[in-house]
Homo-oligomer: A and B are copies of this chain.
Amino acid sequence: MKISTLSIGDELICGQVIDTNAGTVASLLLAEGLRIQRHLTVGDNEQDIIGALNDLGRVSEVIIVTGGLGPTADDLTSRAAARATGRRLVVHEEARAHVRQMSGRLNNLIVCPLNDKQAMIPSKSVLIPNPNGTACGFHLMHNGSFMFFMPGVPAEMTVMLRDTVIPYILERAPRKRIIRAASLNLFGPCEAEVDELLQGIARPEQGLTLGICVAFPWMKVTLRAEAERESAVEALLASALQTARNRLLEYCFSSGDTGMDDAVAELLRNSGLTLSLAESCSGGLIAKRITDIPGSSGYFSEGVVTYSNEAKKRLLGVSAELLDNFGAVSAECAAALAGGVRLASGSDLGLAVTGIAGPDGGSGEKPVGTVFISLAAPDGCWTERFQFSGSRADVRTLTAWTALDRLRRYLLKR
């Protein structure tokens, strides 16, 4: 089944906003064994939308369109869809009732004015219910292609796709071959090293392919198996996955959609240990990532962002002498921060980072990107120096990732 997606929006084609919908649609379809072949983006321009629908119509049995169904004048998708398929634009009574009902319910701070524009869709279309917003979606059949139209708001689109569009496609899709994918997430090695480690695992002639995707600062290795029977696909995938795991060892921090933060959270939860943080150059980024995870209050007691030397002394008992002798960016200071926060908070583990994120503040001996990471635990304290490169944001990102990875490796070994 040939499936294409089309994202519509001036903000997308002009690069002001990154299109996340195309990725969401692709992931959810892939989970059902359906692959997208083409993804196209055009602006809020009627001729461009009509051209895109016509072109995709020639090569696709299914076209999934997002965006341009809003209440404002620059939202042109319904009108373009009507023109492209030779239909009239009509007020859909059910859609109108929906728009009126939702307008009152949303935005607990501000109630938006009503707008019947969102109730106008091409004639002989079927509504796609939108439980989370005013814009109705719709679908229609034109020249042998199913066309689905949904609003661009990600939270609304995702529910409509999952509840209506995908079930509709699956009912009509001839599922001859079964595709399953599995992925491993890595931190540490470079792309060529991973390629070397995974030599020979991909066997395209047997339906097993492998992709490596660099997503700074981590990497995803995806294995895809394709066969006619479910059992064959599962066996193919399981064996390749095991081989890959055996070769990648500690580089692999999780599989599938589990991120580094979730992986660390699970290890912490299972360990029964509590954690506190002292952050200097990462400025709260590690605390943010730890507390992103629901239930983190079970193991995370407190974090301090000690940007000033004064705060390092008062909050964590780092001595003035140590700061004078070694400086705030030093292995000694990192260890004192980790030990200090562990002691002050009474938690089992103290994780601390101090470094120079840049763009200024570097020296010959300690250039921008110099970072010390220290972990204080009941059985020891480990402090290590790193030299990261890149922008201020890169250095902070690498600092947080590396600190979380050290914590992960400690918890794994326990």
Contacts and interface: CB of A to CB of B under 8 A. Distances in A.
Given A15-B30, A16-B183, A290-B283, A211 B345 contact: no
A211 B41 CA distance: 17
Contacts of A290: 283-284
Contacts of A195: 71-73
A38 B44 contact: no
Contact of A26 (B14, B39, B55): B14
A359 B193 contact: no
A49 to B, nearest CB: 11
A124 to B, nearest CB: 28
A304 B307 contact: no
Contacts of A396: 291-292
A181 interface: yes
A189 interface: yes
A303 B392 CA distance: 19
Contacts of A10: 211, 213, 222
Given A37-B42, A302-B311, A305-B303, A72 B191 contact: yes
Most chain B Cβ neighbours within 10 Å, of A37, A115, A192, A196: A192
Contacts of A220: 11, 16-17
A228 interface: no
A358 interface: yes
Contact of A18 (B18, B294, B310): B18
Interface string A8-47: 0111111111111011111110100001111111111000
Copies, count = 2
Given A15-B24, A307-B301, A360-B294, A192 B71 contact: yes
B27 A14 contact: yes
A381 interface: no
Interface in A245-295: 277, 279, 282-288, 290-292, 294-295
Interface stretch (A88-96, A106-114, A229-237): A106-114
Interface residues of A, number: 110
Contact of A287 (B19, B153, B305): B305
Contacts of A112: 190-193
Contacts of A319: none
B181 A14 contact: yes
Given A110-B190, A283-B296, A288-B283, A15 B9 contact: no
A57 to B, nearest CB: 13
A384 B342 CA distance: 34
B113 A196 contact: yes
B23 A153 contact: no
A55 B37 CA distance: 14
Contact of A292 (B279, B283, B296, B344): B283
A306 interface: yes
Given A15-B26, A283-B290, A108 B192 contact: no
A387 interface: yes
Q: What are the 8 closest A-B residue pairs judged by CB atoms, nearest first?
A: A283-B291, A284-B287, A15-B26, A11-B213, A15-B27, A284-B284, A303-B305, A112-B192
13 contacts: A38-B52, A72-B191, A73-B202, A110-B190, A283-B291, A285-B288, A285-B291, A294-B359, A294-B392, A301-B310, A302-B307, A304-B315, A314-B344
